[in-house]
Structure 1
Amino acid sequence: MTTKEDTPPAAGTPRIVDLVRSDPRAAVTELRAATARDPHNAGAHRLLGRALRELGRDEEAEAAEMAAIRATVRDPEMVTIAAAMVAGDLPAAEQRLRGRLSGQPTDVAAIRLMAELAARIGRLKDSETLLRRALELAPGFLAARANLATVLYKQNRYGEAAEVLDEVLARDPVNPGNRNLMAATLGRIGDYDEALRLYGELTESFPEHAKLLMSYGHMLKTVGQLEQSVAAYRRALTVEPHLGEVWWSLANLKTVKFDDTDIAAMEAALAADVSPDDALHLHFALGKAYGDRKQAEPSFRHYASGNAIRREQVAYDPDGIAAQVDRVVEILTPAFLAEREGQGDRSPDPVFILGLPRAGSTLLEQILSSHSQVEGTMELPDIPAMAMREARAAGSDFRDWPAAIAAMEPHRLAELGAEYLDRTRVQRKTDKPFYIDKLPNNWSYAGFIHLILPNARIVDARRHPMDCCFSNFRQHFAKGQGFSYGLDDIGRYYADYVRAMDHYDRVLPGRIHRVIHEDLLAEPEAEVRRLLDALDLPFEEECLQFHRNTRAVRTASSEQVRQPINRSGVDQWLPYEEWLGPLKAALGDLPETYARRAP
């Protein structure tokens, strides 16, 4: 069928489409004449590009394709669509885009806009597909290629994003937005030196860009350059004093003590007309500031206010977590596990440290990564991404990975294990035989890990529930911890985690090694020896000198694990006890029983 774009009005009759295929040289002559008569004829430019591609004249084809894009942008219909996108009227924009693409399916500018729309509503895979189609039609469409890198980054596919950005920056090496994304991407795959170099250059070029300075501060913090990190954050605040995320970033270092001037500045910012996002960060920072001064009432008030704002923003369903644990208990029976024993990939390389955030997992990672045979990486997103993908592919709720596992052919388990190893290979920077994935939320997927990687080590980092849960309440996470913004939610989450671990203790006895944080603080050498024995690793003295390890650390505990073991974090909930009734009610007897193994 001939479409509207196949018959550009000024280019003659529909025969031009057939001419592009049968005699592209003649088509080029006609189409050049058409575009000379009407430089804004996007359809003619597109067909000219296609004809030139047929002739192998790729540079000329690219010029024609880009001319088509420029002409399309001037189209009144596209102007209307773009205005709807800017105004946030995405349904109207989508309706118009669908109509346009049904008649002009190779309009790459429209395809790119549809990809942007898909990304804005969270349909990242659809956005990726659209962008790849746009690049297939117009390989030189640099803006679409940069968009593809962003979409890959948002899907946690950092290695692929870096490869795409290499292509983008080879064509346009000075674009600050793309260089900024490359710096962030390099940080995600552990190329910190290059990331710091890029951030340093960008902040020199854009010294008044507060969020760029903040990102630079984050990276400096990750590699342990604390003074430089604080300086970058302070520079950002001279540019935007009300930028709440920078105040929280300073608080989140855990080593900065705010003075009277800082507190007055934060309170003044809160009193101004700041966004909810700025407000919640300011509340968390002020909670830390007053807590450091032993002023529990204003400290808790600010923490509660910040959490309340964030709780309204996140879609968290505590019943969904409980239902997932129910499915684990229901499906992962001893018989079920025995039937699938050893069917996954048999590589012993990964060491998973899981549990709740703020339970000591970063400390365990720092201890283990000080061993000559173990490489530390970061909190890797791959296991949840794979488990949720398999659940959706099986037609289940995205949390119901046990049902997906139950429906799999045996060979699929080994394929998934191999996929995990491949996805995480970009994180490995040394030739050490073992590497750590310390994403705490992997407790939800411990059975999935066991089945796809039966020889991987699994370590459960567990901390006293009152300290652990209240620490989560005081910690604002960038993303992924929706349970942490309500005391009742946190208590229920901790209880479901223990219920899941109790189940694994019963059906896979000895499979998961547990480290009780308080025991580690009391007897560090004995607990470290137990941990290394469980992982079949020889004891090394360096593991007790973990604070001397200069490796990069991305988590909120980065500065704490650069100090010797201490008890400064124990019983920090006690001054706030009078406000913690909902947490105590949700935990039940767990403050007394959390360290026991299931019968």
Structure 2
Amino acid sequence: MEATRLIKDALAQATGLLTTQPDEALAQTEAILRQAPGLPPAEFLAAQALRRLGQPEAARLRLATLAQRQPTVPALLWELAQAASETGNSAQAIAALEGLTRQQPGVASGWFLLAGELRKLGRTGDAWHADLSGIHASSRDRDLLEAAIAMNEGRLDEAAAILDARLVRLPDDPATIRLLGEVHWRRGDMSAALMLVERAVTIAPGFDLARDFLIRLLLQNNRLTDALTHAEILVQSPLDNPGYALLRASVLVRLGDQAQAAAIYQGLLARKPDQPQLWQNLGHALKTLGRQADAIHAYRQAVQYQPTMGEAWWSLANLKTVKLDAQDVAAMEQALATLALDAATKSEDIFHLHFSLGKAYEDARDYAASFDHYDRGNRLRRTLLTYDADEFAAEVKAASCCFTTTFFMQMGKSGCPASDPIFIVGLPRSGSTLVEQILSSHSRVEGTMELPEMMIIASRLQSRVDEGEFPDFATMIAALTPADRQRLGEEYIDRTRVHRQSDRPHFIDKMPNNWQNVGLIRLILPNAKIIDARRHPMGCCFSGWKQHFARGQAFTYDLGEIGRYYRDYVALMAGFDAAAPGHVHRVHYEHMVADTPGEVKRLLDYLGLPFEEACLAFWRTERAVRTASSEQVRRPIFTDGVDHWRHFAPWLGPLEKALGPVIASYPG
């Protein structure tokens, strides 16, 4: 009895030394085994010490022998699995871990280690299932549940503290790492979020929810090729989740591959056709591809399955060439009445329906009813947006005051010398898509889409002022060295390369808001061409006001605000013309409509491109067009829209007042 107690005490003492002094733990354990040969607890402790001393093969042999005698002890199976893994004996590690996970399916770490060993043997499918089982086990973990609750309630510091403490104990736990990534994302620390979620996916490649989240983070950062790589992996998941295919389609849409996206939507609809959102997505892709009849069918299927789906109705109206008839108007009015009775009504459905009814009544020449619906849609949409016209005007004035002739002379020549980009800037609905379609018909110019890259670069620079690194915009811009300017220009070229699908020497960036960045473009891409697409202020602003944009353009939902925006735009462009004469080429929509051949020749001369007849037959050019004018540029130039705003003149007083003198000075 006394000998047993002494052995028990010696084992306890050796166990206490295992973490900090494994060599001493091993020596004491071997002494115990000399007194009690083959004693299982001592053999197990000796193997643990050997593994910690960097002798995994010796540990594995002892553990394997022990496991033959005690094949159901979880701690023994776990230790054997780790020793076998460290010696490259994946088959033995897998056997041990399969036994462990059968006995303790709620222990996530066993599943994750099993997944890693299965991958080493090329058993990818089984490994994926093991990762999924590990995540399922993690979902019951008390610490993770508490952290998730704290995060969802906005107690981010508390959530981070729980997760950081957990990572001290389990430094490679993918569920903890992913959740901590989301905490950082909610804090606004995108870099930390991306690093953590990427690490979680690296540790557990079958962690579908983490990969899904990672793709969305990558999309937010415009890392489209990386997002597609992960989306291609996610759709191979053993889980039959249609959402993964949808996510892949959304990445393809961002990359401009509408055809592949449409094929995904069609495949999903073949399995389950009563999905209005899918029909709408398919309609968007088909519209962009120029398949108008098929797009109309898709949108009508969407509203058939969900008559209150405002965005689908607006998508029909927004084709511009489709006229909604009396039956459609009745259906939309009924949809509004239905939504009025539903406490869970989404404002998005309501304002989309108002914009759609505005278009329907406009086509019916009932301009008073049309304006009323446009007005109601705009007012509702405006309540959902944050936009400060005074703040924006101050930013524009700061940029205008910065980019002067003297400033450009002081900065000297620098930047990336690439002449690839052709920027088309201006306001939405100014005729920019028409200019883009004309130029994209030229054999040396590739049309892409409204690219966000320059806006991202400009926003990043502005954040240095907002965060206090520089006192103002001018100081920040002046601090850019020649090396900085070259690097930024090269960054733009590199980031936009993913959107180029041909070897044509020039490509178009049609982001209209880049008029705010003409000075920056001049600094970092001095050989880029800039085209200012301009339209009569009343026609342009009214057309923008009655257009609901999928995202951005927050200034368009109030007549006074859009008028001020146009005025700011004219002022900045005039200042830039004075600072860099001839650097920007202006195309007036009305002139292009009145004399297309002459305007096209002037445009091509500015770009240094030879004339090509295809530019005059631009509507025959087959390419994806994503803007609101997608159908209008697929037919010859028409004059109907030039003065269309005059039908609404009685109600446009606020716009006329906000525009002020720029109306009379147009096209000066």
> Which residue is 1:3 aligned to?
none
Alignment of 1:142 onto 2:208: yes
Report SS of the residue matched to 1:483: helix
Which region of structure 1 is more displaced relative to structure 2, 446-455 or 168-177? 168-177
Alignment of 1:514 onto 2:577: no
> Which residue is 1:151 aligned to?
217
TM-score for both structures, normalised by structure 1: 0.89
Q: CA–CA distance in 2 between the matches of 1:206 and 1:451? A: 52
> Which residue is 1:99 aligned to?
162
8 Å contact kept, 2:430–2:540: yes
Q: CA–CA distance in 2 between the matches of 1:464 and 1:70? A: 60
> Which residue is 1:200 aligned to?
266
Measured against aligned partners, the alpha-carbon deviations of 1:245-297 in whole angstroms (never above 9, x if no partner) come to: 00000010001111122111111111122311110111110111111111122
The Cα shift of 1:197 comes to 1.9
Alignment of 1:327 onto 2:390: no
Q: CA–CA distance in 2 between the matches of 1:473 and 1:271? A: 25
Return the match for 1:164 from 211, 216, 230. 230
8 Å contact kept, 1:101–1:111: no
Letter in 1 for 2:354: H
> Which residue is 2:659 aligned to?
587
The Cα shift of 1:161 comes to 1.2
Q: CA–CA distance in 2 between the matches of 1:16 and 1:389? A: 52
Alignment of 1:382 onto 2:448: no
Alignment of structure 1 residues 182-581 onto 2, 5 Å: 182-272=248-338, 273=342, 274-393=345-464, 396=467, 402-581=474-653
The Cα shift of 1:563 comes to 1.3
8 Å contact kept, 2:128–2:237: no
Measured against aligned partners, the alpha-carbon deviations of 1:128-154 in whole angstroms (never above 9, x if no partner) come to: 233112123323323212221122123
In structure 2, relative to structure 1, the CA distance for the partners of 1:62 and 1:553 (3 Å cut) is closer
8 Å contact kept, 1:519–1:527: yes
The Cα shift of 1:433 comes to 1.1
Q: CA–CA distance in 1 between the matches of 2:116 and 2:510? A: 53
Gaps of 5+ in 1: 1-5, 7-11
Report SS of the residue matched to 1:376: strand
Gaps of 5+ in 2: 1-18, 20-43, 60-77, 83-96
Letter in 2 for 1:72: S
Measured against aligned partners, the alpha-carbon deviations of 1:193-221 in whole angstroms (never above 9, x if no partner) come to: 32222222122122111111101000000
The Cα shift of 1:590 comes to 0.9
Letter in 1 for 2:231: L
Measured against aligned partners, the alpha-carbon deviations of 1:35-71 in whole angstroms (never above 9, x if no partner) come to: 665432335656x469969999996987765544222
The Cα shift of 1:312 comes to 1.3
Q: CA–CA distance in 2 between the matches of 1:49 and 1:433? A: 51
What percent identity do the matched residue pairs reach? 44
Letter in 2 for 1:488: G
Measured against aligned partners, the alpha-carbon deviations of 1:301-322 in whole angstroms (never above 9, x if no partner) come to: 1111111121111111212321
Letter in 2 for 1:449: I
Which region of structure 1 is more displaced relative to structure 2, 111-120 or 336-345? 111-120
In structure 2, relative to structure 1, the CA distance for the partners of 1:398 and 1:592 (3 Å cut) is farther
Return the match for 1:177 from 243, 254, 266. 243
Measured against aligned partners, the alpha-carbon deviations of 1:565-594 in whole angstroms (never above 9, x if no partner) come to: 111112222222222222111110111113
Which region of structure 1 is more displaced relative to structure 2, 74-83 or 508-517? 74-83
Letter in 2 for 1:454: P
In structure 2, relative to structure 1, the CA distance for the partners of 1:447 and 1:42 (3 Å cut) is same
Alignment of 1:41 onto 2:107: yes
8 Å contact kept, 1:391–1:398: no
Letter in 1 for 2:456: A
Letter in 1 for 2:106: H
> Which residue is 2:34 aligned to?
none
State the Cα RMSD in Å.
3.1
Letter in 2 for 1:365: E
Q: CA–CA distance in 1 between the matches of 2:662 and 2:238? A: 57
8 Å contact kept, 1:24–1:54: no
> Which residue is 2:28 aligned to?
none
Q: CA–CA distance in 1 between the matches of 2:111 and 2:118? A: 12
Letter in 2 for 1:544: L
